[in-house]
Chain A
């Protein structure tokens, strides 16, 4: 029995799963390794591959000392397989097996369901790195560039985490799936990534911040519910991934916040009070608040689509099987089986949006989406506090869940951001008021000028309040390779 507290760090693949005593899996992963390194090398522009980046590397799973900060070249980053410590006598937390001992091996009857969930989760990890591959060239500071690369290498590690599970528990099928994770590619015509939002480009830094705030938060909710899985290795993998994921939320929330702060401060300095005087604000070289709201509308609604159908048999089956729990399942006080329970679900009835009670088991996705919306709303409050502090009269809002949707009950209708149903023609006519158009994108793109002097920030974004790892303001987070 491997001792999970100790990490094998001197091996090709750092791990705390006793890989050196599991020759079959070790061999399989070592075979997969070169393909991964090739994928990484082909992806990230060469100049950054040879630069020294001040990165956090997971080196353990003890909360007191799980990570180390140091300069590394990204291709030399130690991508490892790390599982959170086992919880003694852990039980299946939900569904028909609730209370039974958690599974250490894949239960035969749930094999394909589990594999599918792991593959979908695994597919999103490299996808986001692909989407963000060119952002390094327009980083507004070395601090932001470092944060981008930190997010990237950790998404890479999360891919490793899922690939380990596939190799370890799913035999030949698992190996094929692991290979496919490197074959599919974001935005590709022939082999796109599995989920829509992960095939959209991330064209600029505001998109990146919105993506890490909204889309990575979907990832967080999915990881949270997989962390509740009765399949213990999956639970432990996801629990550890969440430790890293928190930084990604941080990058998004503070990135948008700093953009807003810079805009408000520039407006104050120039004596502009009307946030809707877009041309005047843009002339200051900052992003006007209504355009930031439009970006928010876009990314929030794309992320809502990731939660799938409000009423879903697949989700009900996964919950009932004990494969996937609800957000913070073990903290919820109910029977964890949802026999006879109901949950309020929005429905379209006769062209109107109404809330009806649906069987809670079928409404698992809806519930997770509601938890997500609550979680996402917190940051909006913070952003509004930044605006209010400067005295500008403007508030950011989350749009109605019916706005701009492609999946679920709202896919069939068009609504305004406050949820009023309108005709498709009206929606198209007013679309530019609510969602970023090409001109907005062009304007934002025009601001994306790299700033590579330590301690300096591009004109459209404020410096952070605290440095990474308590570093001082002018710390050189990336030592750029000058070729």
Chain B
């Protein structure tokens, strides 16, 4: 049997047969009869040239299939077939580039396999730009987030897209391939970075986004990015990811747990919430772990967010004169709060950061649930099925 593939399909209920996509397709993969417009899976190379010009959004649909739908089948559709139970639960495609999809699958493993987006999440655009056909952005700003004395160098990098449309949602990632080749003469591999700004930009209605990058002494890409200067051009692919997204429902409580640069998506979530429902109180909690306070990215700006809006809990594992304190310890300290959240059908849990944090958090949820007469092993699958439990670790 062939490996499953992601087939590009058009939603016949939304498409209005304007054939703009057909004009936009550089390789003639799109055709039509009097009723439907269809994509030939044998020809489509997923270059995405057709996505932006579509006036309806009907073009932006994907199905993971073992055998692609034939043209004849597609022409007979009056509605899109449901995603078969091959791979992802709700048919969401996280990325079209296979290596990126593999990276994301690995990052989301801790959630228990392919995740599901929150019911009220916006529809993400995915893979508008591939590694081979990346968008061009310019560095609009680059700032060190951690103090100069901190052993950890984390930088906040703002990328401006000029007149190029690069629509991202909070929680999505972008791909960056450092220029040049490795010692063996091969191109460097793409790295993914979670977007740390809200969908409408660092400031409302700017066409930019930010990422949060920690310099790793041996990391080719992190060194490339941390050494960038204002005005430098950066090739960006993506956006990637279609499940680690925030709910639009202002009633939803976001329980966000992170370490280090895992805070990036939560900065985006928090800013989005503050822009869309600034008056909402008590609907976001953050558990943030780092070695020391001076190595914690966004510590300053975070402190300015009122506690009534964001319930903040920090855990430092290497603070002089203090015992080691991890995010799971902070969760246990707030046992009754967390227990109430686990029982609340509005609660969405997000975990982002180093993979090593998973086990401890898992154990903490297990214990907190048990002590409050709940069963974490039942809660977790239910939350997952409802798109309320999300893990992205590396």
Which of A101-109, A129-137, A246-254 sits within the interface? A246-254
A307 to chain B, nearest CB (A): 19
Q: Which among B13, B18, B53, B207 is the interface contact of A63 at CB below 8 angstroms? A: B53
| Contact (Cβ within 8 A) B49 A64 | yes
Asked whether A71 is an interface residue with its Cβ less than 8 Å from the other chain, the reply is yes
What is the 8 Å Cβ interface bit string for chain B, positions 2-13, against chain A (1 contact, 0 not)? 000000000011
Which of A162-170, A351-359, A374-382 sits within the interface? A374-382
Asked whether B55 is an interface residue with its Cβ less than 8 Å from the other chain, the reply is yes
| Contact (Cβ within 8 A) B16 A379 | yes
> Which residues of the partner chain B approach A375 to less than 8 Å between Cβ atoms?
17
Which of A189-197, A262-270, A360-368, A464-472 sits within the interface? A464-472
Asked whether A67 is an interface residue with its Cβ less than 8 Å from the other chain, the reply is yes
| Contact (Cβ within 8 A) A250 B55 | yes
| Contact (Cβ within 8 A) A246 B18 | yes
Contact of A60 with B16 at beta-carbon distance under 8 Å, contacts A471-B122, A472-B120 already known: no
Q: A-B contact count, CB below 8 Å?
A: 81
> Which residues of the partner chain B approach A65 to less than 8 Å between Cβ atoms?
52, 163-165
Q: Which among A67, A243, A470 is the interface contact of B125 at CB below 8 angstroms? A: A470
> Which residues of the partner chain A approach B18 to less than 8 Å between Cβ atoms?
220, 245-246, 249-250
| Contact (Cβ within 8 A) B165 A250 | no
> Which residues of the partner chain B approach A378 to less than 8 Å between Cβ atoms?
17, 34-35
A39 to chain B, nearest CB (A): 26
> Which residues of the partner chain B approach A443 to less than 8 Å between Cβ atoms?
none
What is the 8 Å Cβ interface bit string for chain B, positions 167-179, against chain A (1 contact, 0 not)? 1000000000000
| Contact (Cβ within 8 A) B13 A382 | yes
Asked whether B57 is an interface residue with its Cβ less than 8 Å from the other chain, the reply is yes
Asked whether B123 is an interface residue with its Cβ less than 8 Å from the other chain, the reply is yes
Closest chain B residue, CB of each to CB of A374:
B34
> Which residues of the partner chain A approach B34 to less than 8 Å between Cβ atoms?
374, 377-378
| Contact (Cβ within 8 A) A253 B16 | yes
Asked whether B56 is an interface residue with its Cβ less than 8 Å from the other chain, the reply is yes
> Which residues of the partner chain A approach B16 to less than 8 Å between Cβ atoms?
246, 249-250, 253-254, 379
Asked whether A201 is an interface residue with its Cβ less than 8 Å from the other chain, the reply is no
A residues contacting the other copy or chain, number (CB 8 A): 37
> Which residues of the partner chain A approach B122 to less than 8 Å between Cβ atoms?
470-472
Contact of A470 with B123 at beta-carbon distance under 8 Å, contacts A65-B165, A68-B207 already known: yes
A122 to chain B, nearest CB (A): 22
B48 to chain A, nearest CB (A): 8
Within 8 A of A (CB), among B123-175: 123-125, 128, 135, 163-165, 167
Asked whether A289 is an interface residue with its Cβ less than 8 Å from the other chain, the reply is no
Closest chain A residue, CB of each to CB of B58:
A466
How far, in angstroms, from A269 to B183 measured CA to CA in the complex? Answer: 70
Within 8 A of B (CB), among A62-81: 63-68, 70-71
Asked whether A242 is an interface residue with its Cβ less than 8 Å from the other chain, the reply is yes
How far, in angstroms, from A59 to B163 measured CA to CA in the complex? Answer: 7
Asked whether A348 is an interface residue with its Cβ less than 8 Å from the other chain, the reply is no
Asked whether A287 is an interface residue with its Cβ less than 8 Å from the other chain, the reply is no
Closest chain B residue, CB of each to CB of A247:
B55
| Contact (Cβ within 8 A) A466 B57 | yes
Within 8 A of A (CB), among B37-77: 48-50, 52-53, 55-57
Q: Which among B12, B49, B124, B165 is the interface contact of A68 at CB below 8 angstroms? A: B165
> Which residues of the partner chain B approach A382 to less than 8 Å between Cβ atoms?
12-13
Contact of A466 with B52 at beta-carbon distance under 8 Å, contacts A60-B163, A246-B20 already known: no
| Contact (Cβ within 8 A) B52 A465 | no
> Which residues of the partner chain A approach B57 to less than 8 Å between Cβ atoms?
466, 470
> Which residues of the partner chain B approach A64 to less than 8 Å between Cβ atoms?
48-49, 52, 128, 135, 164-165
Q: Which among A250, A374, A465, A471 is the interface contact of B13 at CB below 8 angstroms? A: A465
A406 to chain B, nearest CB (A): 28
> Which residues of the partner chain A approach B163 to less than 8 Å between Cβ atoms?
7, 9, 59-60, 65, 68
Asked whether A86 is an interface residue with its Cβ less than 8 Å from the other chain, the reply is no
What is the 8 Å Cβ interface bit string for chain A, positions 75-119, against chain B (1 contact, 0 not)? 000000000000000000000000000000000000000000000
> Which residues of the partner chain B approach A9 to less than 8 Å between Cβ atoms?
163
Q: How large is the interface on B (under 10, 10 to 19, 20 to 34, 35 or more residues)?
A: 20 to 34
| Contact (Cβ within 8 A) A470 B167 | yes
| Contact (Cβ within 8 A) B56 A250 | yes
Asked whether B24 is an interface residue with its Cβ less than 8 Å from the other chain, the reply is yes
Within 8 A of B (CB), among A439-483: 465-466, 469-472, 474
A190 to chain B, nearest CB (A): 37
A248 to chain B, nearest CB (A): 9
A481 to chain B, nearest CB (A): 19
A96 to chain B, nearest CB (A): 27
> Which residues of the partner chain A approach B84 to less than 8 Å between Cβ atoms?
none
Asked whether A339 is an interface residue with its Cβ less than 8 Å from the other chain, the reply is no
Within 8 A of B (CB), among A225-267: 242-243, 245-247, 249-250, 253-254
How far, in angstroms, from A63 to B50 measured CA to CA in the complex? Answer: 8
How far, in angstroms, from A381 to B77 measured CA to CA in the complex? Answer: 12
B276 to chain A, nearest CB (A): 10
Closest chain A residue, CB of each to CB of B161:
A65
How far, in angstroms, from A247 to B56 measured CA to CA in the complex? Answer: 7
| Contact (Cβ within 8 A) B207 A466 | no
| Contact (Cβ within 8 A) B56 A466 | yes
Contact of A70 with B205 at beta-carbon distance under 8 Å, contacts A242-B20, A254-B16 already known: yes
| Contact (Cβ within 8 A) A472 B248 | yes
Asked whether B78 is an interface residue with its Cβ less than 8 Å from the other chain, the reply is yes
Closest chain A residue, CB of each to CB of B205:
A70
Asked whether B86 is an interface residue with its Cβ less than 8 Å from the other chain, the reply is no
Q: Which among A71, A253, A379, A469 is the interface contact of B205 at CB below 8 angstroms? A: A71
How far, in angstroms, from A246 to B50 measured CA to CA in the complex? Answer: 14
Contact of A63 with B167 at beta-carbon distance under 8 Å, contacts A246-B16, A374-B34, A465-B14 already known: no
> Which residues of the partner chain A approach B165 to less than 8 Å between Cβ atoms?
64-65, 67-68
| Contact (Cβ within 8 A) B53 A243 | yes
How far, in angstroms, from A60 to B165 measured CA to CA in the complex? Answer: 11
| Contact (Cβ within 8 A) A66 B52 | yes
Q: Which of B34, B165, B167 has the most CB of A within 10 A?
A: B165
> Which residues of the partner chain B approach A465 to less than 8 Å between Cβ atoms?
13-14
A-B residue pairs in contact (CB < 8 Å), sample of 29: A7-B163, A59-B163, A63-B53, A64-B49, A64-B135, A65-B163, A66-B52, A66-B53, A67-B52, A68-B163, A242-B20, A246-B18, A250-B16, A250-B18, A250-B55, A253-B16, A254-B14, A254-B56, A377-B34, A378-B35, A379-B16, A382-B12, A466-B56, A466-B57, A470-B122, A470-B123, A470-B125, A472-B248, A474-B248
- Interface of B toward A, CB cutoff 8 Å: 12-14, 16-18, 20, 24, 34-35, 48-50, 52-53, 55-57, 78, 120, 122-125, 128, 135, 163-165, 167, 205, 207, 248
A-B residue pairs, 5 tightest by C-beta: A246-B18, A247-B55, A65-B165, A246-B55, A472-B248
19 additional A-B pairs beyond A66-B53, A471-B122, beta carbons within 8 Å, are: A7-B163, A63-B24, A64-B164, A64-B165, A66-B52, A67-B52, A70-B205, A71-B205, A243-B53, A245-B18, A247-B55, A250-B56, A254-B16, A254-B56, A375-B17, A378-B35, A466-B57, A472-B120, A472-B248
